[in-house]
């Protein structure tokens, strides 16, 4: 019953996530909230690198812009109304439209580098701007609330409420992306990743498709940055940095989890955050271990940790040849 | 502000541009010949600076430090190519980015294990420690002129090797058509190992030269790395001439940017790159594909 096991994995995982705050301590609820937020960010990056074939090195900028939009608009406010604040993450969509419009004209290493250049421009803009706190960034002392009249319906000050809100955002994002990918648009962008020239020969305007994909991914990254800013209570330029906490880690999350699938980045976010939480307790020089793990996965398991699941299931299947073969995961990317 | 002030800035810009050129020339060859995006290239600059610091402490002379450090850098380059980079030639850019990023983490940890997290300085060797007076209150340090002079010599030597020697012929051929070079029976694996090790040695040498003027600190490689990529992309991948022009442009823009428009200085180099890519998506001297 390999196929049934597999189709049950997602609902079971969701159930565990929904029930978690009933058992977990508030520290772990907070940690898990961070994982869920990063998962949204990684999922949006996967739409670019795993589905559209665009290795964007500036994606962290949209994450940062989502956070900064919230922080700049509400840094002096005593109440942050969610219905006013949430649309601000659309600032990232606008930035993605401009950056994407320019960047998609290039390809290969030039695309990686021009997106990196834009990412660095946003990073330094906020890093050197005294108005937005420069290096220190901006602190937010309140969390958003949803109120009707004077009645508060959803107060994110409560750790559990925030957790469910983030989970809701992740599930909504997942379903939206799944829908987009199932639609003709999704077929076209996956085809662009597989063979750009052929898609162009079929008469599609590939730049338009790439741009739409870039903007959708940027918007979702903005939402994740918005959540991160609201959750941690501060926004600073490190949101947009290319190493340590920024884009390189996000790429690690996507590849470690398994790119080209929507659940891969979610699993990857769990793996990476838990590793970053656990490894420092082993040794002071934990980055050595982390680097080693990243290298081994990228070399020996290029389709990520989630590619192990169908492999384990298909091994079980060999003992039972009558059951249908499990659907294979995404194929390895074409060699460059 | 008088003329001599601008002269000092100009000399600084040129010296900075030359150091960038040393790092970027290796990077551009790696990409042009092997098709590798090497994020860890900045780490070799850092390793060079730390080698200069460590060996100078040990031997008491920067010259001995550099003399001993260069073979070590070559060896490091060779080992890294054999045990990490050579697995990447046939991989997607994405995996190259990820693996070389992991290498940065590893090099940074090793640096902290070996030398700790303190900021260090290296003394300028005595004969070059003075400065040349330009006006009453403006002078220019001799060591900086020395850096530029050494870099000019290296750039000249490189241009000679690439234009006139058999190795240079293979490098040029490799940059323009990798498969053809292989088909002609040239041992590509050896060529790749050699070019990579030389690139590492150049980056490390830049770090060694820069150690006395900049301080030696953890994470110094990352700052150089990104700006070197900007240089490579502006010049066009695989082009040494492009890397040279790109390095000088970035040297000028960042030095004069700091003087004339301090709050926008860091952004300007990236903005320049974006503009150039808009105009020529393959860089100034890159071939269109």
Q: Residue A224: pLDDT above 50?
A: yes
Distance, in Å, from the CA atom of B229 to the CA atom of B200, rounded to the nearest integer, reads 15
pLDDT of residue A335: 43
Q: Is the ipTM of this complex over 0.85?
A: no
Q: Residue A6: pLDDT above 70?
A: no
CATH tag, B3-279: 1.10.3470
pLDDT of residue B288: 58
List Cβ neighbours of A204 (8 Å cut-off, separation of 6 or more): A188, A192
Residue of B nearest to A122 (CA): B267
Each residue of B217-262: pLDDT tens digit?
888 888 888 899 899 989 988 888 899 999 999 999 999 988 888 7
Each residue of B17-68: pLDDT tens digit?
999 999 998 888 888 777 888 889 999 999 999 999 999 988 888 899 999 9
Could you state, in order of their start, the residue ranges of all structural domains in chain B? 3-279
Does some domain include residue A327? no
Each residue of A142-155: pLDDT tens digit?
778 777 777 777 77
Residue of B nearest to A127 (CA): B266
Each residue of A202-212: pLDDT tens digit?
999 999 999 99
Each residue of A59-116: pLDDT tens digit?
999 999 999 998 888 887 777 787 777 888 889 999 999 999 989 988 888 888 889 8
Does some domain include residue A56? yes
Does some domain include residue A271? yes
Lowest-confidence pick of A147-161, A200-214, A249-263, B174-188 = A147-161
CATH code of A280's domain: 1.10.3470
Residue of A nearest to B88 (CA): A299
What is the DSSP-derived secondary structure letter of residue B120? B
Cβ of A290 within 8 Å of Cβ of B237? The answer is no
- What residue has token string 């990476």? A272
A334 in contact with B, Cβ within 8 Å: yes
Alpha helices in chain A (DSSP H): 2-23, 26-46, 59-74, 82-85, 90-103, 109-127, 159-182, 184-194, 196-201, 206-232, 247-257, 263-278, 286-300, 308-318
Does some domain include residue A336? no
Q: Residue A251: pLDDT above 50?
A: yes
pLDDT of residue B52: 92
Q: How far is CA B50 from its chain centroid?
A: 15
How many domains in chain A? 1
Q: Residue A239: pLDDT above 50?
A: yes
Does some domain include residue A274? yes
Q: Residue A331: pLDDT above 70?
A: no
Residue A135's domain spans which residues?
A: 2-318
Each residue of A53-74: pLDDT tens digit?
999 989 999 999 999 998 888 8
Query: Is B93 in contact with A336 (CB distance < 8 Å)?
Result: yes
Does some domain include residue A325? no
CB contacts of B284 in chain A (<8 Å) are: none
pLDDT of residue A323: 44
Does some domain include residue A326? no
Mean pLDDT of chain A: 84
Q: Which two structure tokens, joined as six digits, stand for B286?
A: 């890159």
A97 in contact with B, Cβ within 8 Å: no
Interface of A with B in 7-66 (CB under 8 A): 49, 55, 57
């Amino acid at each position: 019953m390999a196929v049934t096991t597999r189709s049950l994995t997602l609902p079971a995982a969701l159930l565990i996530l929904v029930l978690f705050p009933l058992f977990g301590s508030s520290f772990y609820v907070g940690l898990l909230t961070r994982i869920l937020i990063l998962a949204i960010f990684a999922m949006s990056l996967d739409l670019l690198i795993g589905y559209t074939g665009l290795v964007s090195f500036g994606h962290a900028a949209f994450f940062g812009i989502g956070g900064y939009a919230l922080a700049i608009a509400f840094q002096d406010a005593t109440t942050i109304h969610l219905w006013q604040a949430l649309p601000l993450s659309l600032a990232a969509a606008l930035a993605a439209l401009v950056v994407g419009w320019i960047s998609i004209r290039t390809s290969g290493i030039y695309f990686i580098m021009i997106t990196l250049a834009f990412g660095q421009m946003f990073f330094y803009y906020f890093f050197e701007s005294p108005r937005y706190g420069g290096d220190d960034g901006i602190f937010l002392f309140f969390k958003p609330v949803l109120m009707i009249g004077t009645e508060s319906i959803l107060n994110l000050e409560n750790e559990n409420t925030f957790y469910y809100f983030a989970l809701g955002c992740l599930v909504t994002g997942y379903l939206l992306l799944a829908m987009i990918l199932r639609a003709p648009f999704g077929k076209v962008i996956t085809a662009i990743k597989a063979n750009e020239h052929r898609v162009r020969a079929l008469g599609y305007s590939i730049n338009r498709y790439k741009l739409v994909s870039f903007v959708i991914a940027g918007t979702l990254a903005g939402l994740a940055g918005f959540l991160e800013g609201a959750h941690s209570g501060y926004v600073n330029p490190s949101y947009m940095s290319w190493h340590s906490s920024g884009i390189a880690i996000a790429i690690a999350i996507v590849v470690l989890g398994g790119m080209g699938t929507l659940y891969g980045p979610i699993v990857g976010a769990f793996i990476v955050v838990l590793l970053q939480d656990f490894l420092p307790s082993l040794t002071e020089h934990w980055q050595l271990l982390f680097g080693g793990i990243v290298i081994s996965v990228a070399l020996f398991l290029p389709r990520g940790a989630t590619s192990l699941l169908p492999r384990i299931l298909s091994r079980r299947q060999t003992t039972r040849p009558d059951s249908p073969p499990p659907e294979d995961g995404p194929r390895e990317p074409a060699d460059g | 502000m008088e003329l001599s002030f601008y002269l000092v800035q100009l000399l600084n810009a040129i010296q900075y541009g030359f150091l960038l050129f040393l790092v970027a020339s290796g990077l551009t060859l790696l990409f042009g010949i092997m098709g590798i995006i090497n994020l860890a290239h900045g780490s070799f600059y850092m390793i060079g600076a730390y080698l200069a610091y460590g060996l100078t402490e040990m031997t008491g002379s920067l010259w001995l430090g550099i003399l001993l450090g260069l073979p070590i850098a070559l060896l490091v380059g060779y080992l890294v190519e054999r045990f990490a980079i050579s697995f990447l030639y046939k991989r997607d850019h994405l995996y190259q980015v990820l693996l070389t990023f992991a290498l940065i983490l590893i090099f940074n940890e090793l640096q902290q294990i070996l030398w700790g997290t303190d900021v260090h300085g290296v003394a300028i060797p005595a004969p070059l420690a003075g400065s040349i007076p330009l006006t009453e209150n403006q002078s220019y340090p001799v060591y900086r002129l020395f850096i530029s002079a050494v870099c000019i010599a290296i750039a000249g030597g490189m241009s000679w090797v690439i234009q006139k020697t058999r190795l240079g012929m293979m490098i040029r051929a490799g940059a323009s058509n990798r498969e053809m070079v292989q088909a002609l029976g040239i041992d590509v694996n050896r060529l790749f190992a050699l070019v990579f090790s030389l690139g590492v040695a150049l980056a490390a040498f830049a770090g060694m030269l820069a150690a006395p003027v900049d301080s030696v600190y953890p994470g110094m490689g990352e700052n150089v790395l990104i700006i070197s990529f900007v240089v490579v992309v502006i010049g066009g991948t695989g082009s040494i001439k492009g890397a040279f022009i790109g390095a000088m442009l970035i040297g000028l823009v960042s030095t004069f940017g700091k003087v004339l428009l301090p709050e926008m200085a860091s952004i300007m180099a990236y903005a320049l790159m974006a503009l150039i890519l808009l105009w020529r998506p393959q860089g100034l001297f890159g071939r269109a594909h």
